[in-house]
């Protein structure tokens, strides 16, 4: 929940300071990632010490993680905002728990849930309730602000689906090939995993920003944007990503992503206090669905762990 709180506050600050109007999005992300990388390396050295360089097999995994979770996720997200707007994009962000649940089962990263057990139903219905509630809150927010362009491009919907799918692939690959693999030496060093993943991601988005090399004005970042940039580097890219990676090393990827809809509630509460935006009654219903869904997921996880402990004791 701490990571989702950090993620939820981020778009509020972006809107308050008008980042999209005062900085090129791709250049902004490039600066964010380049600034974040040395901080992650420093935190990894402090937390874990120097472990050595990855071998070529581990580099393959880190390249996949960097391209999917850092580069493609951010790039497709930005493109979707340009085509269909931030509000509609926020609705489709809630697909991440669904994509992750499908992927962990399809790749056998997690066992197929036995629907004879109450815990399986609680987890499945909890994820669906949370996602539906978050989508409902975002949908009525976008309608109330009347900010959706009526001439949507279908490219935008493709891009946001690719963005959410890319991040889900990142989460599942991280879990399957690092944290759930007993022979992988990096499985107990989540901050190093994140730092090495950020390296190819930062390189990729830096190469993408070269598209604007002939337009020097694209690299200008307004003074107020640096406030958001500092928050993005320290909180969103470092703190939140580290918590997500650490959580992914301890519990299943489907449970980690099940908490994604909490971003919407945090975002709406912060929007009320910072931007003066009010919730309508239908959005309160969505908030209740999100909270109920998360309670169901936590309860299902507790019942599952209790059953596993009983089986081990026997």
DSSP string, 205-235: HHHHHGGGTT-GGGG---TTHHHHHHHIIII
Please tell me the pTM assigned to this model: 0.80
Distance CA 209, CA 120 (A): 44
Q: Are 253 and 295 in contact (CB under 8 A)?
A: no
Structural domain that includes position 217: 2-313
Instruction: Determine how many CB atoms are found less than 10 A away from the CB of residue 297.
Output: 24
Interatomic CA distance for residues 297 and 303, integer angstroms: 10
Of the candidates 71, 27, 70, 89, the residue with the CA atom closest to the CA atom of residue 226: 27
95: which 2 tokens? Answer: 């697909």
> Cβ distance 302 to 251 under 8 Å?
no
* Better-predicted residue by pLDDT, 244 or 112: 244
> With bands split at pLDDT 50, 70 and 90, how would you rate the model's confidence at 101?
confident
pLDDT at residue 100, as a whole number:
84
Please write the tens of the pLDDT for every residue from 210-251: 888 888 888 888 787 888 888 889 988 889 899 999 998 988
Query: How many domains does the chain fold into?
Result: 1
Q: Tokens in use for 84?
A: 């269909």
Q: What is the pLDDT of residues 45-100, one digit of tens each?
A: 999 999 999 999 999 999 999 999 999 988 887 777 667 665 566 667 777 888 88
């Amino acid at each position: 929940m701490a990571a989702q709180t950090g993620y939820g506050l981020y778009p509020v600050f972006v809107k308050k300071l008008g980042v999209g109007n005062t900085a090129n999005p791709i250049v902004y992300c490039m600066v964010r990632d380049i600034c974040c990388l040395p901080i992650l390396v420093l935190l990894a050295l402090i937390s874990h010490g120097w472990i050595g360089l990855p071998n070529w097999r581990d580099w393959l995994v880190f390249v996949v993680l960097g391209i999917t979770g850092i580069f493609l996720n951010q790039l497709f997200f930005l493109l979707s905002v340009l085509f269909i707007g931030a509000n509609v994009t926020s609705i489709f962000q809630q697909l991440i728990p669904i994509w992750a649940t499908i992927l962990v089962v399809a790749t056998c990263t997690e066992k197929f849930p036995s629907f004879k057990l109450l815990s399986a139903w609680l987890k499945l219905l909890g994820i669906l309730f949370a996602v539906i509630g978050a989508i409902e809150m975002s949908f009525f927010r976008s309608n109330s602000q009347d900010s959706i362009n009526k001439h949507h491009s279908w490219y935008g919907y493709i891009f946001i689906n690719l963005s959410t799918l890319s991040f889900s692939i990142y989460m599942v690959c991280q879990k399957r090939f690092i944290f759930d693999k007993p022979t992988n030496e990096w499985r107990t060093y989540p901050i190093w995993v994140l730092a090495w993943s950020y390296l190819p991601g930062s390189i990729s988005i830096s190469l993408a920003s070269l598209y604007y090399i002939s337009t020097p004005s694209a690299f200008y970042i307004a003074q107020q944007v640096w406030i958001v940039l500092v928050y993005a580097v320290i909180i969103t890219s470092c703190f939140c990503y580290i918590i997500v990676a650490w959580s992914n090393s301890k519990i299943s990827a489907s449970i980690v992503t099940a908490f994604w809809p909490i971003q919407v509630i945090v975002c709406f509460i912060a929007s009320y206090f910072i931007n003066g935006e009010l919730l309508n009654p239908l959005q309160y219903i969505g908030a209740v669905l999100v909270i109920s869904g998360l309670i169901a997921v936590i309860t299902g996880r507790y019942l599952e762990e209790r059953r596993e402990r009983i089986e081990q004791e026997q």
